[in-house]
């Protein structure tokens, strides 16, 4: 289990909000000496608690229509092929730029997060690129119309 | 439609990988003058193409068991109440720390991304906190066992 005290957490929360804050700004906000904040951030990085620093892309680059696509793969007669089928589909989907994320679910299923400029293009993409993949048994589309929590996750995932 | 040239895209890609890169490091890697890189980043920020700078938290803080929970809400006799029901459920879920993201789907459905230390705790959370919510018609759990693309999205979403 990871050991973090209140100061560590306060620093992480500030950096999550704005990773450009300087050590002296953080020190001032938390009313702690700069040397302490400097040491804590160094430790958080060394321990891998802070994995990396990144940017979130703005609205202009985010797809406007987003959906989760749940895919169940057909179980082949030779069951060992199932693993091959599913790996192939996951790899195929991962390469596509408008597939934002891919996750394996159960032995025979996976989920993809897909995005496009608008609903029409999104449906076209799902119909013409996903549904036609071989060995699929079932495809369920769950449109995401409004992100209530974790709202800027799309800006994190989108590529340029 | 957003106008980005190759240099803008190259800068964004570098910052997505490591937002701590200095202007001179970026300039060197892209073989461009520092002044140009400085100007471009300033513009990208002003235009909101770069929405914000943040950190991704490491493995130690990420939940080990993650699932999508698809929830369909019962349509009440007085249909106007549906919107109230669904907003109430989305708000309730959003407050919970192990609910990483919540999105509205259709008129009567929503999806939540939930995480816990292990599978047992995750199932307990889903059974004892989500399934018991009033007005639910259907709850489907899609475990995410392996993230193939967008792998560190959990480190982006997790709170401290």
- Fold of the domain spanning B6-46: Arc Repressor Mutant, subunit A (1.10.10)
**Model confidence at A134: pLDDT above 70:** yes
A59-157, CATH topology level: Alpha-Beta Plaits (3.30.70)
Q: How many CB pairs under 8 A join A and B?
A: 202
Using the beta-carbon criterion (under 8 Å), do B103 and A9 form an inter-chain contact? Answer: no
Q: What is the mean pLDDT of residues B5-27?
A: 96
The pair phi, psi for residue A146, each rounded to 5°, is -155, 125
What order of strands is seen across the sheet that includes strand B99-104? Answer: A146-149, B99-104, B109-116, B65-73, B136-144
Q: Among all residues of chain A, which has the CA nearest to that of B65?
A: A105
CA distance B38 to chain A (A): 15
Q: Which residues of B touch A103 (CB under 8 A)?
A: 144-148, 150
Token couple for B127: 């059974």
Give the pLDDT confidence score for residue B28 in this predicted structure. Answer: 97
Contact, B64 vs B135, CB < 8 A?
Answer: no
Residues of B in contact with A49 (CB under 8 A): 57-58, 60-61
CA distance B141 to chain A (A): 10
- For residue A3, the model assigns a pLDDT of 85
CA A123 – CA A130 distance, rounded (Å)? 10
Q: Cite the DSSP H helix spans in A3-152.
A: 6-17, 23-30, 34-46, 81-95, 119-125
Q: Is the dihedral of CA B102, B146, B155, A143 positive or negative?
A: negative
Q: How many percent of chain B have pLDDT more than 90?
A: 88
Neighbours of B95 (CB within 10 A): 9
| Yes or no, beta carbons of B16 and A54 under 8 Å apart | yes
The domain locations on chain B are 6-46, 59-157
Inspect the interface and report whether the beta carbons of B153 and A155 lie closer than 8 Å. Answer: no
Which residue out of A3, A5, A16, A41 would a mutagenesis test of the B interface target, given it has the greatest number of B Cβ atoms within 10 Å?
A16
Which residues fall within 8 angstroms of residue B91, CB to CB, at 6 or more apart? A148
Work out the pLDDT band at B77, boundaries 50, 70, 90.
confident
Q: How far is CA B54 from CA A18, A50, A62, B153, in A?
A: 5, 10, 17, 12
């Amino acid at each position: 289990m990871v050991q973090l005290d209140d100061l560590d957490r306060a620093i992480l929360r500030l950096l999550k909000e704005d990773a450009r804050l300087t050590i002296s700004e953080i020190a001032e906000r938390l009313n702690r000496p700069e040397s302490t904040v400097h040491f804590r951030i160094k430790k958080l990085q060394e321990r891998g608690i802070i994995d990396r620093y990144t940017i979130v892309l703005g609205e202009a680059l985010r797809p406007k229509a987003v959906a989760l696509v749940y895919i169940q793969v057909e179980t082949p007669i030779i069951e060992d092929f199932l693993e091959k089928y599913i790996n192939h589909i996951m790899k195929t989907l991962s390469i596509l730029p408008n597939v934002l994320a891919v996750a394996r679910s159960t032995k025979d299923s996976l989920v993809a997060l897909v995005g496009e400029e608008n609903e029409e293009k999104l449906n076209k993409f799902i119909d013409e690129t996903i549904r036609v993949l071989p060995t699929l048994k079932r495809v369920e589309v769950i449109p995401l119309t409004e992100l209530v929590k974790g709202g800027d996750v799309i800006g994190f995932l989108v590529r340029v």
